[in-house]
């Protein structure tokens, strides 16, 4: 059993790496700090790294990510890490994309203070991606895996993006901003579209603390998964059962997608008020995925715990790291 014990240890260490990053305070862990951690991880594990920041995002037409972070003095970043476990192939087998809002005040659609104190955990998706890339490197998997971080700080200021703004994303689709607190999906729009076009992955999975609606639906027990690829969805759910990171499928029917259509742009960044908010997030994001097989996982309820749970202490859970490492090692 020595090999299985060693693999389990690597799973745990990779998850703990993500948890430590999640727990870092927002005055320290800004977009630049997380990008630097990605750079250190790449150097230590022999990963290729691609980085775009600040005004350069705008020049490369990643306008959605750029505008989400424009209200802060800390510039936004797009970061991609590439692990090449199969050097005989140029294909990327899997891209993991993480929402990395290092602090989410809600922007000009300001959150109440009681909902703001834990918003350092809005970077959890990006931290999970780094944990996965750490684990993939040490497991020496024979697959090519891409980890993508969409990093920004969502703050109100004179330069912040505003309700009513219309933003043209990387894939040329336009976004009507109705609520600046639905910023994660706007940042992910560019991360998904740019990563798919540049790296052409066979599969894409994103992790995001995207919606309070998912917390209402599933609480702190399970994450929500949405995908039109039922085979991928089933395999991820099964991997989650084995890793004790439960995910539950929410519907992805066409009728829901109608609710994010805009009268003045291609899509609006919120659905109908009080209705199926978690699915509205998915319906929005699918606008920015072209042909890749893709699943969206909303970890808003399970990214961090207020009480010890499942053998984990209070704080970041690293949810998603063991799930994906289990999926990769068993498929």
Catalytic positions are 111, 185
Measured CA to CA in angstroms, residue 93 lies from 8, 115, 141, 312, 328 at distances of: 23, 38, 11, 31, 10
Q: Who contacts 36 (Cβ-Cβ below 8 Å, separation ≥6)?
A: none
Q: Is-contact 103 124, C-beta < 8 A?
A: no
Residue 203 — left, alpha, or beta (φ > 0 → left; ψ -120 to 50 → alpha)? beta
Q: What secondary structure, in 3-state letters, does the chain show?
A: CHHHHHHHHHHHHHHHHHHHHHHCCCCCCCHHHHHHHHHHHHHHHCCEEEEEECHHHHHCCCHHHHHHCCCCCCCCEEEEEEEECCCCCCCCCEEEEEEEEEEECCCCCCCCHHHCCCHHHHHHHHHHHHHHHHHHHHHCCCCEEEEEEEEEEECCCCCCCCCCCEEECCCCCEEECCCCCCCHHHHHHHHHHHHHHHHCCCEEEEEECCCHHHHHHHCCCCEEEECCCHHHHHHHHHHHHHHCCCEEECCCCHHHHHHHECCCCCEECCCCCCCCHHHHHHHHHHHHCCCCEEEEEECCCCCEECCCECCECCEECCCCHHHHHHHHHHC
- Are the beta carbons of 323 and 239 closer than 8 angstroms? yes
């Amino acid at each position: 059993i020595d090999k299985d014990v060693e693999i389990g240890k690597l799973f745990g260490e990779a998850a703990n790496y993500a948890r430590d990053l999640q727990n870092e305070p927002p005055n320290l862990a800004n977009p630049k700090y997380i990008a630097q951690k990605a750079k250190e991880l790449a150097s230590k594990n022999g990963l290729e790294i691609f980085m775009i920041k600040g005004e350069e995002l705008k020049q490369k037409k990643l306008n959605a990510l750029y505008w989400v972070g424009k209200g802060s003095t800390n510039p936004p970043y797009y970061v991609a890490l590439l692990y090449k476990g199969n050097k005989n192939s140029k294909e990327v087998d899997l891209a993991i994309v993480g929402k990395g809002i290092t602090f989410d005040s809600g922007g000009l659609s300001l959150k109440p203070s009681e909902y703001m104190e834990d918003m350092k955990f809005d970077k959890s998706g990006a931290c999970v991606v780094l944990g996965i890339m750490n684990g993939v490197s040490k497991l020496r998997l024979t697959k090519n895996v891409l980890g993508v971080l969409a990093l920004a700080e969502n703050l109100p200021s004179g330069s912040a993006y505003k309700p009513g703004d219309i933003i043209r994303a990387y894939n040329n689709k336009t976004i009507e901003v109705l609520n600046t607190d639905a910023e994660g999906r706007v940042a992910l729009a560019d991360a998904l579209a740019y990563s798919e076009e540049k790296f052409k992955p066979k599969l894409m999975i994103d992790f995001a603390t995207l919606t309070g609606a998912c917390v209402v639906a599933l609480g702190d027990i399970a994450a929500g998964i949405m995908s039109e690829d039922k085979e991928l969805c089933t395999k991820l759910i099964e991997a989650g059962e084995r890793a004790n990171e439960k995910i539950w499928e929410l519907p992805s029917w066409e009728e829901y997608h109608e609710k994010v259509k805009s009268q003045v742009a291609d899509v609006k960044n919120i659905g109908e008020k009080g209705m199926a908010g978690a699915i509205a997030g998915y319906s929005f994001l699918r606008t920015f995925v072209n042909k890749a097989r893709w699943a969206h996982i909303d970890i808003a309820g399970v990214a961090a715990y207020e009480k010890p749970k499942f053998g984990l202490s209070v704080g970041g859970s690293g949810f998603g790291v063991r799930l994906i490492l289990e999926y990769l090692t068993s498929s």
